[in-house]
């Protein structure tokens, strides 16, 4: 469980945070992942945490990090996109989660394309062990000619958990022209998936099991970006299909978790989901409460005129406290001891 000792119900902020945490916990109990354990299943998730933690709308409030920790505590490992250079919020998040939690991250991608962002994996070290491989995807040249690289470098890390091992590849595909058939974005997804497909073939492959996850900016089931994943053998489990979107309006399936498996030790349990949270924290009815934290920009535009739609500003501001994406999760089986004993019994192991 996350740390709660510092919460002070005698203050307005503390009382509100506790009340909202209780509502969030009740929702997670009802629709979130099942209770975690150390040896039979693993809850894998991906979350694009909006500009984490950029000062664009000010630093995240302590209560926002508390809510995020409450959600992340239901996972065993989380791939995070849009992590910025300042790590104070990430370090505080890890502190709230407790001493067993750790993270790995890339360097930031400098420039307008990468938006000074990086990838991170936040995980429970009691459950997962590093497998040895960690790196960033660099697409190879074609006929000695350099090729276009992804806007944000995908991050590969090999993990071991229970009786299984796998490589996680976290991506954040470019937005492009903002349409589902954007050729540059589709080409980027195709190139990364094709590269990974080739790297898991042959006797010296890192691992036969690769999970490609993150923010693909895929619009819907007919998006050619999703077809590009399938073309290279990456399959989205049934458990997380047809869940609705992972964006705030729940109409875009931007975030995905896709499996390329060549083993009998990488199965889902059939459970997965999307965790929306703005019906429990940073509610519409809370707008007036956060006016001091939003500052002058809540009432006044950058040009100095009175802001006409403060509700719209508040709804955007709260996505910089939590995110404009919802986390997507899926549960995996990691205990294959029963199958192993059966093979032993048959003389096959």
Q: So what's the pLDDT on residue 343?
A: 87
**Cα–Cα distance for residue pair 267/334, rounded to 1 Å:** 8
Q: Which tokens in the block code for residue 177?
A: 């022209």
Q: So what's the pLDDT on residue 54?
A: 86
Q: So what's the pLDDT on residue 321?
A: 97
Q: So what's the pLDDT on residue 175?
A: 92
Model pTM?
0.95
Give the domain ranges of the chain: 12-281+322-345
Q: So what's the pLDDT on residue 61?
A: 97
**Cα–Cα distance for residue pair 233/68, rounded to 1 Å:** 33
**Cα–Cα distance for residue pair 270/90, rounded to 1 Å:** 31
**Could you tell me the mean pLDDT of each successive run of 10 residues in the chain, 349 residues long?**
93 97 97 91 98 86 98 98 95 97 94 89 98 92 84 95 95 91 95 92 80 97 96 96 95 97 85 98 98 94 91 96 98 92 86
The distance from CA 37 to its chain's CA centroid, rounded to whole angstroms, is 20
**Cα–Cα distance for residue pair 44/261, rounded to 1 Å:** 16
Pick the CATH number of 12-281+322-345 from 3.20.20.140, 3.60.10.10, 3.40.50.1980, 1.10.3720.10: 3.60.10.10
| Maximum separation of any 2 CA atoms in the chain, in Å | 79
For residue 47, give the nearest of 113, 116, 109, 122 by alpha carbon.
Answer: 122
């Amino acid at each position: 469980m996350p740390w709660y000792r510092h919460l002070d119900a005698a203050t307005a902020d503390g009382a509100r945070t506790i009340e909202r945490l209780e509502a969030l916990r009740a929702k997670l109990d009802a629709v979130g992942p099942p209770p975690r354990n150390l040896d039979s299943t693993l809850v894998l998730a991906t979350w694009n945490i909006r500009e984490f933690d950029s000062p664009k709308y000010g630093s995240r409030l302590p209560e926002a990090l508390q809510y995020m920790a409450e959600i992340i505590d239901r996972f065993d490992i989380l791939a995070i996109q849009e992590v910025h250079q300042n790590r104070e919020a990430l370090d505080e998040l890890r502190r709230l989660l407790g001493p067993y939690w750790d993270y790995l991250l890339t360097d930031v991608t400098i420039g307008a394309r990468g938006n000074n962002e990086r990838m991170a994996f936040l995980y429970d070290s009691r459950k997962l062990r590093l497998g040895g491989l960690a790196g960033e995807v660099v697409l190879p040249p074609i006929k000695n000619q350099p090729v276009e690289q992804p806007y944000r470098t995908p991050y590969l890390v090999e993990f071991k958990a229970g009786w299984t091992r796998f490589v996680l590849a976290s991506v954040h595909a470019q937005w492009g022209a903002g349409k589902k058939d954007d050729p540059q974005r589709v080409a980027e997804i195709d190139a990364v998936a094709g590269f990974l497909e080739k790297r898991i073939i042959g006797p010296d492959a890192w691992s036969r099991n690769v999970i490609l996850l993150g923010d693909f900016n895929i619009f819907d089931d007919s998006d050619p970006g999703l077809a590009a994943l399938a073309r290279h053998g990456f399959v989205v489990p049934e458990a997380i299909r047809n869940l609705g979107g992972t964006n705030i309006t729940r109409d875009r399936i931007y975030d995905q978790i896709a499996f390329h498996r060549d083993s009998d030790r990488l199965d889902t349990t059939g459970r997965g989901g999307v965790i929306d949270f703005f019906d429990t924290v940073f509610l519409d009815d809370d707008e007036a409460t956060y006016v001091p934290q939003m500052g002058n920009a809540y009432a006044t535009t950058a040009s100095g005129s009175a802001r006409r739609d403060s509700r719209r500003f508040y709804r955007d501001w709260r996505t910089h406290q939590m995110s404009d994406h919802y986390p997507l999760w899926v549960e995996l089986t990691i205990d294959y001891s029963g199958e192993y004993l059966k093979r032993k019994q048959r003389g096959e192991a």
